[in-house]
Structure 1
Amino acid sequence: MRRPVIIGLTGSIGMGKSTVAAMFEEAGVPVFDADAAVRAMQGPDGELLPAIEAAFPGSTGPKGVNREALGKLVFGDKDKLAELEAIVHPAVGRKRATFLEENAQAPLVLFDIPLLFEGGGNKAVDVVVVVSAPAEVQRERVLARPGMTIEKFEHILGLQTPDADKRAGADYVIDTGATLEETKSQVHALIKQLHSEAGAAD
């Protein structure tokens, strides 16, 4: 039985991954957004709140997870971060499995996963697509975000697989340093190519 071709989309902070994911979705490719799934499960009445509160007392409230409070508890502590990931990652995996079942008839599906390489998720997809832009463009975009500092930006970069390594591990690279229209044309060309290859494999 044929199943969808699974595209893993990733990219470092400020590279335009969310914009590119939206372009895939607009073109009719079902998209699973790992970050959105986590936000929902950690939001008001989210299914992960009891487990997170039990492991990290005082980190949740009526509005869901208090990201600042939780951040202080796990920041810089690998054991506590691993404990949090042990709660979150299996739950995301279940959501992803449900998404795949619901879209089993689609020729292509896309997993939008920020830490695709860092978590080894690149081994669980058929095609790895990396969004990338020149370092100066990335820096400009990120530092324009509210509350962002050079120190925060550099800390985040330090946690992520370097852009050059992501590009080296990609099957396809989408250049987001160009105009939105140019980026969109790259996305549409890739979708057409993957549809063609999926059809040829049947």
Structure 2
Amino acid sequence: MSPRGVATPDVNELLFAAAERVVVRDGPGALTSRAVTTEAGCSKGLLHTHFAGMDAFVAALCLDRFARSAARARALPPLAGTGTVAGHLATVTDALFGSGGPAVSGLALTRPGAAQRFRAAMEAGAPGFTAIQEAITAYLRAEQSLGRFPAATDPDTAALCLVGTAHHLLMTDWPGAPDPEPALARLIGLLLGDTAA
């Protein structure tokens, strides 16, 4: 329950979404526990009740958003043979850039304590870009077996190109930076060649 007597069904998501809005609007330097809880409209102590400080909160936020993108990527292989390959790949890259993606992606780097927690979680198997790449590879292999992805193109390399480009665009985003979608669409078209389905 919040101090206002209203049930908070998912406190983490309430705080994560508020943090994304703060970072997108005001930049990573503005991210404080007070800014997050004010944005979320909840008690000032709520964040510290659920997280052991801002480093733990930032690491959890970044890990949650990577896990969401990885889940979206893992949903790809069963879609082989349906829709368009370009459309399915765009859905996954869109997930990386959705919400506060560019702003959140480098957030852990601004806080050494959060970066350590983030790395430890990744080393322990938390999903990140590697999980996304593996899911895209599996999807492209499935589409290749159906003749909807070029036989001469290595799915592992294509997935690495797509994820690496998305990572680069995420990490080099700044206010006023070009929209990443056209660059990703061109790369997807290049990977699909003339057999785009």
TM-score when normalising by structure 2: 0.30
Greater share of residues in helix: 2
TM-score when normalising by structure 1: 0.30
Greater share of residues in strand: 1
